[in-house]
């Protein structure tokens, strides 16, 4: 068994290096369909994170009890159970948001990111590591949902966190920001093509940051290696 390297690699993998939306390109159905605003993206992201964490923990707990031949149907059954619980919770406490997200909450069952983490990680690791992996992957996915929703909302409507009270309560009405009443938005931003364009821009930005980080790391290695090799004068 590989040596336990702690939780930090799991967190960095989920948030950045193996982000399910920007790297693995999984879960694109809710990502593209529900991100017409930052509030919608945050709501769907939190629901997905809850399912991901709960299913990861449960699958890790039963991993030694499930025969390999039936593991995938069992994983789907576990995920579907938690999706139903999350859907009913949203319907009971955030009904207006539930009406906005609609069909896409039950479709979390088919989210390849959740099934993929169950098969690739939760079924092979301890409960604590499965929990951290699910939380990191969920938060990374949520951040992309929220960023894409914010980008499309700003470009299309000139607002940010419009109808935040649907998710965060009446006290969140003051969170809504606007670029002005006379702002003429780009309609394409809140249409399906805008979702693909926005996601493409986010992926390009991540790749650019990774490229710059790699170039900086190589530059730093070249300039610090000679100093490290000099013999001590002591």
Query: How much is the pTM?
Result: 0.90
Asked if residue 139 lies in contact with residue 154, where contact means CB atoms within 8 angstroms, the answer is: no
**In the structure, how many helices (H) and strands (E) does the chain have?**
9, 2
The residue among 77, 43, 83 whose CA lies nearest residue 165 is 43
Q: Please give the chain's pLDDT, 234 residues, in tens.
A: 345 678 999 999 999 999 999 998 988 888 899 999 999 999 999 999 999 999 999 999 999 999 999 999 999 999 999 999 999 999 999 998 899 888 889 989 888 899 999 999 999 999 999 999 999 999 999 999 999 999 999 999 999 999 898 888 888 888 889 988 788 889 999 999 999 999 999 999 999 999 999 999 999 988 886 554 555 554
Helix, strand or coil, per DSSP, at residue 184: coil
- Polymer length of the chain: 234
């Amino acid at each position: 068994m590989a040596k336990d390297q702690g939780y930090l690699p799991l967190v960095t993998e989920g948030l950045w290096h193996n982000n399910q939306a920007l790297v693995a390109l999984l879960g694109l159905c809710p990502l593209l369909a529900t991100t017409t605003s930052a509030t919608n993206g945050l709501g769907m992201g939190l629901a997905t994170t809850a399912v991901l964490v709960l299913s990861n923990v449960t699958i890790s707990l039963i991993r030694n009890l499930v025969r390999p031949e039936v593991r995938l149907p069992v994983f789907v059954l576990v995920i579907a159970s938690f999706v139903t619980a999350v859907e009913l919770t949203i319907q009971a406490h955030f009904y207006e948001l539930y009406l906005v997200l609609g069909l896409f909450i039950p479709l979390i069952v088919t989210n390849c990111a959740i099934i993929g983490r169950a098969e690739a990680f939760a079924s092979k690791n301890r409960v604590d590591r499965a929990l951290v992996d699910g939380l990191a992957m969920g938060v990374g996915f949520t951040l992309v949902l929220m960023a894409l929703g914010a980008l499309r909302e700003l470009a299309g409507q000139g607002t940010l966190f419009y109808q935040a009270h649907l998710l965060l309560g009446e006290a969140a009405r003051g969170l809504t920001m606007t670029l002005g009443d006379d702002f003429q938005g780009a309609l394409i931003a809140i249409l399906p093509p805008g979702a693909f364009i926005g996601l493409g821009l986010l992926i390009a930005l991540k790749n650019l940051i990774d490229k710059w980080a790699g170039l900086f790391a190589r530059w730093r290695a070249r300039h610090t290696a000679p100093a490290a090799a000099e013999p001590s004068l002591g």
